[in-house]
Amino acid sequence: MAQHISYFSPGPAKIPDEVLAQVQEQLINFDTTGVSIMELSHRSKDFAKFMDKTEAVVRDLLCVPDNYRVLFMQGGGSGQFAAVPLNLISRTGKADYIVTGSWSSKAAKEAAKYGKVNYVVAKTERYIGVPDRSSWTFDPDASYVYYCANETIEGVEFHDVPEVPKGVPLVCDMSSNYFSKPVDVSKYGLIYGGAQKNIGCAGVTLVIIREDLLGKPQPICPTILDYTIMSKNKSLYNTPPSFAIHVLGEVLAWVKKEGGMAEMERRSVQKSKMIYTIIDNSSGFYSNNIQPRSRSYMNVVFRVGEGGGNEELEKKFLEKAAHQGLLSLKGHRSVGGIRASLYNAITIDDTQRLANFMKNFREENKI
């Protein structure tokens, strides 16, 4: 029998087994069209039906209000780093960025190509959580306030929607915790995320934008990043990444069947707690330096070895884990250590296997 694999990759990441089986079965004949979803013309009636159905499940799961548009774009989160200012900064030429990790930092740097960026929280060398609200400084002229809901690399997550000045649109990168919990969309001007963590495979970016924010792109905005044009054309200005949209739809249908947003949140809390508890009860053998209130439910980042981490021991940890089928646990090269990504497709059982491994590894290697 083949070894059971638990794949804790930060993205591209695990897709539910049921969804993979379903996508495989439908690959050659999509929904009785006689052709593959990869072949189906994006100008056909069958395709329009497919897009409507996919949008409907997005709207249903997140209770998207009627005055928001749902867009399927290309270019991933990195594409949105440019698209956001190119479409939204022209009102005042300025924007507020709440930088709490590597991804929001990258987004702020990209935005500075297109306008003036105000850093709401003081720059730090290391990211260890969401700084106290009392330390934030907003620019009263900002066209929008931007933040990243979950910093995949550092393992820092906002567990509440940040309070920002009234009337200023809030923009959020949800790439790594999209559809992992209920979201009050009405609090946002724009939400976006790449699909390859919680909602499918790489190649499609899901954007949800409040209608009144359309219509003001900078003249230099490339058409493929223009929300107004994409919205007018129902995401079919150019050929959309059909297959990736299909997988996204199948993943979300699975999420709905499993119980929707509340159930995904319950599981995420449970799974991350299983790992954080082992870290916290390891007498320093495992360590996580993120403020407890900002610890990510999606990406549990930790070091192995007393005194804040030992690279030799971490190498051994990764090797032994891999030997047991616990894969893709290496931390991002910029922070080192270990990272267990616990997206929706990671089961309680996968997490239990990792927890057991961590307990045994500590017993065998503690000083």
Binding site for its own copies (CB under 8 A): 2-3, 5, 7, 9-15, 20-21, 23-24, 27-28, 34-36, 38-44, 74-79, 81-83, 86, 110, 113-114, 194, 196, 200-204, 219-220, 222-225, 237-244, 247, 325, 327-328, 333
Which among 135, 154, 202 is positioned nearest to 175, based on CA atoms? 202
Q: Which CB atom, from 22 or from 287, has the smaller least distance to its own copies?
A: 22
d(CA 162, CA 142): 16
Q: Which CB atom, from 16 or from 169, has the smaller least distance to its own copies?
A: 16
Q: Which CB atom, from 7 or from 138, has the smaller least distance to its own copies?
A: 7
Q: Which CB atom, from 47 or from 276, has the smaller least distance to its own copies?
A: 47
The residue behind tokens 């638990």 is: 6
- The tally of CA atoms less than 13 A away on the side-chain side of residue 159 is 13
Catalytic residue among 173, 254, 271, 330: 173
Helix (H) or strand (E) holding 56: helix 45-62
Token couple for 349: 């059982």
CA 361 to chain centre: 30
d(CA 112, CA 79): 14
Q: β-pairing, 299-304 with 338-341? A: antiparallel
Q: Which residues contact 60 (CB under 8 A, 6 or more apart)?
A: 256
**Minimum separation from the CB atom of position 178 to its own copies (A):** 14
**Minimum separation from the CB atom of position 30 to its own copies (A):** 11
Q: What is the Rg, in whole angstroms, of the alpha carbon atoms belonging to the chain?
A: 21
**Minimum separation from the CB atom of position 138 to its own copies (A):** 26
Is 173 catalytic? The answer is yes
Q: Which CB atom, from 88 or from 130, has the smaller least distance to its own copies?
A: 88
d(CA 92, CA 143): 6
Q: Which CB atom, from 24 or from 135, has the smaller least distance to its own copies?
A: 24
Catalytic residue among 14, 181, 197, 271: 197
Amino acid letter at 14?
Answer: K
Instruction: List strands edge to edge, sheet with 145-148.
Output: 68-73, 205-210, 190-194, 170-173, 145-148, 94-98, 116-119
d(CA 325, CA 101): 30
Catalytic residue among 94, 96, 103, 254: 103
The residue behind tokens 């990736």 is: 244
**Minimum separation from the CB atom of position 67 to its own copies (A):** 27
Is 123 catalytic? The answer is no
The residue behind tokens 């399927």 is: 72
Residues forming the active site: 103, 173, 197
